[in-house]
Amino acid sequence: MTTTIIQKTDELLASTYPRLPVVFERGRGTMLWDTEGRRYTDFLAGIAVCGLGHSHPAVQQALAAQAGRLVHVCNLYYTIPQVELADWLVGHSFADRVFFCNSGAEANEAAIKLARKVYQDRGEKDRFRIIAMEQSFHGRTMGSLSATGQDKIKQGFYPVLEGFDFVPFNDIAALRAAIDDTVCAVMLEPIQGEGGVVCPSADYLQEVRRLCDKAGILMILDEIQTGMGRTGRLFAHEHSGIAPDIMTLAKALGNGLPIGAMLAREEAAGAFGAGAHGTTFGGTPLIAAGALAVVQTIEQEGLVARAAETGAYFIGQLEALCERHAAAEAVRGQGLLLGLELNREGAPIVDRCLERGFVINCIQGNVLRFAPPLIIGAHEIDALIECLDAIL
């Protein structure tokens, strides 16, 4: 069966992913099982998506109940799960309004459009440029791709959209020099996930906020990978004691369901009037009901604090690993979004871990990324460290 599924996938699906030779069939909590019956501990969670783990009963129950009631109507009408989810997000963030969509890339598209429209509505037609960060990742649609600071991802798709400038991440002087009266916003990730789990200095986001306030421009934070408790706070920017004007979410917001969200202060959100933007499936009753169960469970089970505590333990174990092995050079990240920088290619280690029953991945060639479910335990971390010890 496994061979057949792999062959048919390679024949029928677009070859956009270099897939590893395993067919996952089911999951429960932090565990996955393949079609051969082998069990794996999931330290990737669908790339920081399944914060609750797999097949969480609260999400199952919410989806089943809503599927029997109402799956979809268009956004020309009011629905209950959508407003309940929006109410939770607004009540737990800086924002006044929410726009729901289907993915992180779409959330970033909405943020880019909103930032431009704020100033277009004010009559400032020349203020449309957005400053983004080198090595950033914001998505693969043409707008979010244009805002992404990695040329390798843009290859084959030039010309990208105009209106984006790039400065080095964590370089406040470069950002200051790039701001002029054509800039409408600064767009960045609190931690660069796809860029290699790169954290800025402790005061960087505060300085970005000050520059944006001084220049009268918007601060957009892409919290698609860092949000929903991943770093030990509900949103990563809370570690810095600041708030953006616009924030994008996806991934762990739905625990595997296709949902994205753009949150904004009223001063910015007001630019999105009727007809300014839209979506067919964004915030549909079924998905909104599932996502509401996700966020309520994160809160009820104390998973944000758990991510902070477990993450600190994980960091300590990885740092000890670095002391034992010259190949492991540094630990990056915060909470349960962590990277282990190697002095060699990481892909062979990913393969070896998979053979031994651990799901991780490698980014930027030499950084092993760990983004497990927020329910991961110390004993599972210890088992992974033992595996890495043996491989290294």
Asked if residue 295 lies in contact with residue 84, where contact means CB atoms within 8 angstroms, the answer is: no
Asked if residue 197 lies in contact with residue 48, where contact means CB atoms within 8 angstroms, the answer is: no
CATH T-level topology, domain 2-55+302-391: Aspartate Aminotransferase, domain 1 (3.90.1150)
Which residue among the candidates 113, 169, 222, 272 is catalytic per the annotation? 222
What mean pLDDT do residues 344-370 have? 98
Alpha-carbon distances, residue 202 vs 11, 266, 305, 314 (angstroms)? 48, 28, 20, 20
Decide: helix, strand or coil at residue 129. strand
pLDDT per residue over 238-290, tens digit each? 999 999 999 999 999 999 999 999 999 999 999 999 999 999 999 999 999 99
The share of the chain scoring above pLDDT 90, in percent, equals 100
What mean pLDDT do residues 166-173 have? 98
- Which two three-digit tokens encode residue 57? 């009963």
Report the alpha-carbon distance of residue 386 to residue 35 in Å, rounded. 26
Alpha-carbon distances, residue 76 vs 73, 103, 132, 277, 291 (angstroms)? 8, 20, 34, 13, 21
DSSP 8-class letter at 20: -
What pLDDT was estimated at residue 98?
A: 98
- Which two three-digit tokens encode residue 384? 């992974």
pLDDT per residue over 6-44, tens digit each? 999 999 999 999 999 999 999 999 999 999 999 999 999
- Which two three-digit tokens encode residue 367? 């950084």
What mean pLDDT do residues 215-244 have? 98
- CATH of region 58-300: 3.40.640.10
Report the alpha-carbon distance of residue 225 to residue 253 in Å, rounded. 10
Tell me whether residue 251 is one of the annotated catalytic residues: yes
Write out the DSSP string of 204-264.
Answer: HHHHHHHHHHHHT-EEEEE-TTTTTTTTSSSSGGGGGT---SEEEE-GGGTTTS--EEEEE
pLDDT per residue over 115-164, tens digit each? 999 999 999 999 999 999 999 999 999 999 999 999 999 999 999 999 99
Report the alpha-carbon distance of residue 84 to residue 79 in Å, rounded. 9
pLDDT per residue over 53-74, tens digit each? 999 999 999 999 999 999 999 9
Checking if the pLDDT of 102 tops 90, the result is yes
Asked if residue 136 lies in contact with residue 120, where contact means CB atoms within 8 angstroms, the answer is: no
Q: Is 222 exposed, middle or buried (0-12, 13-18, 19+ CB in 10 A)?
A: buried
What mean pLDDT do residues 76-105 have? 98
Closest by alpha carbon to 150, among 161, 170, 171, 134? 134
What mean pLDDT do residues 364-387 have? 98
Each domain of the chain, given as residue ranges in start order, spans: 2-55+302-391, 58-300
Sign, CA torsion 247/96/113/205:
negative
For tokens 């031994």, the residue is: 356
Asked if residue 389 lies in contact with residue 321, where contact means CB atoms within 8 angstroms, the answer is: yes
Q: Place 332 in a pLDDT band, splitting at 50, 70 and 90.
A: very high
Tell me whether residue 222 is one of the annotated catalytic residues: yes
Tell me whether residue 137 is one of the annotated catalytic residues: yes
Report the alpha-carbon distance of residue 195 to residue 367 in Å, rounded. 10
DSSP 8-class letter at 106: H
Report the alpha-carbon distance of residue 198 to residue 121 in Å, rounded. 36
Report the alpha-carbon distance of residue 154 to residue 135 in Å, rounded. 12
In terms of pTM, does the model score above 0.85? Answer: yes
Report the alpha-carbon distance of residue 324 to residue 228 in Å, rounded. 33
Report the alpha-carbon distance of residue 79 to residue 40 in Å, rounded. 39
What pLDDT was estimated at residue 202?
A: 96
What pLDDT was estimated at residue 1?
A: 87
What mean pLDDT do residues 158-175 have? 97
Which residue among the candidates 43, 100, 251, 314 is catalytic per the annotation? 251
Asked if residue 137 lies in contact with residue 150, where contact means CB atoms within 8 angstroms, the answer is: yes
- Which two three-digit tokens encode residue 357? 């029953």
Asked if residue 25 lies in contact with residue 35, where contact means CB atoms within 8 angstroms, the answer is: yes
Which residue among the candidates 137, 164, 169, 370 is catalytic per the annotation? 137
Average pLDDT across the chain, whole number: 98
Closest by alpha carbon to 246, among 212, 276, 206? 212
